[in-house]
Homo-oligomer: A and B are copies of this chain.
């Protein structure tokens, strides 16, 4: 029987990767929750900052993939508080009330972002000797990263103290790109194809090197989501979401061992779009 899966923040970069790769599979029956609708999709329109509004979307779901929230590192405290902190509480409460078993949380590398900041740009290049795993202390680089650390802790609190959810996965997703800029090309938001940086400039080369180290292709992301959707062993765990990049400094061995994550892509294949 198909698994009922609620996708919050369905139409962002990560949500659309899941839709693109999984929506047609008979294994899953998706509900899309989003603040605004899209013509082509039936959408449960609601904001995760509104606890009552979102509750009905959780009924009869087997799993929730929680991606809704302010999605970028430039979020102000007010934006982060409302969408990511209160939004996480509301989403967990709704899942608990509706007795949803599985909760997959779209966390971020920015929970541990200072390890990057203090080592950039050297960390983006081959042979830099650092591997960050799920046991390192949190070192958030932004309100955004701090709010996702909070979300992981709150999820663990719910997991260990309430009947539902019964499984909680924190995926610290690094750099997933929009469909049109995915492999083998770059990313609109980071400025590569908006001309923010001159091709060949130092900043441009650094940006490309960063992407090669932090990229998670849309198919690897989706595969990792499926690993979580089909797993029945984990109670609480934290995994990094990156492809098997030569230059990665995020551990994927833990995800490989625990949920069978086997990424197919490598950031060395990634490149910025042509001029």
Interface of A with B (CB < 8 Å)?
A: 77, 81, 85-86, 89, 114, 117, 135, 137-143, 145-146, 149-150, 153-154, 156-157, 160-161
Contact = CB atoms under 8 A, between A and B. Distances in A.
A225 to B, nearest CB: 23
Contacts of A140: 153-154, 156-157
Contacts of A86: 81
Contact of A157 (B85, B135, B142, B156): B142
Nearest to A135: B137
A157 B146 contact: yes
Contact of A149 (B114, B117, B143, B153): B153
B150 A146 contact: yes
Nearest to A51: B77
A51 to B, nearest CB: 10
Contact of A138 (B142, B146, B156): B156
A65 to B, nearest CB: 22
